Amino acid sequence: MGRTVSSKAAIAAIEADGWSEVAQVGSHKHFKHPTKMGRATVPHPNKELAIGTIKSIERQTGVKLR
């Protein structure tokens, strides 16, 4: 299996790529990028994100998390 990623680490990685938090609905944080299309959603706080969630965040942001 691949390496697990915490929500804190995922948020740090996408913020380092230029994404900024624009909203929070319950336990989900929403991020937008100034030049990339769309919005990325990260559940927070989670010690381990499920592999499907990690893949979804990678698809939404273009940032490799694992």
- Give me the CATH number covering residue 19: 3.30.920.30
42 CB contacts (<8 Å, ≥6 apart)? Answer: 7, 10, 11, 14, 28, 29, 31, 57
pLDDT of 5 over the 80 cut? yes
pLDDT of 32 over the 60 cut? yes
- Domain for residue 37, yes or no? yes
- Domain for residue 28, yes or no? yes
In the block, residue with structure tokens 């740090």: 12
CA 42 vs. chain centroid, Å, equals: 4
Q: Tell me, what's the pLDDT at 45?
A: 93
Mean pLDDT taken over the chain: 95
pLDDT of 1 over the 80 cut? no
pLDDT of 13 over the 90 cut? yes
11-to-29, 59 alpha-carbon distances in Å:
9, 14
- Domain for residue 47, yes or no? yes
- Domain for residue 40, yes or no? yes
- Domain for residue 1, yes or no? no
Q: How many domains does the chain have?
A: 1
State which residues form the domain around 19. 7-61
Q: Tell me, what's the pLDDT at 4?
A: 87
48 CB contacts (<8 Å, ≥6 apart)? Answer: 4, 5, 6
Q: Tell me, what's the pLDDT at 2?
A: 63
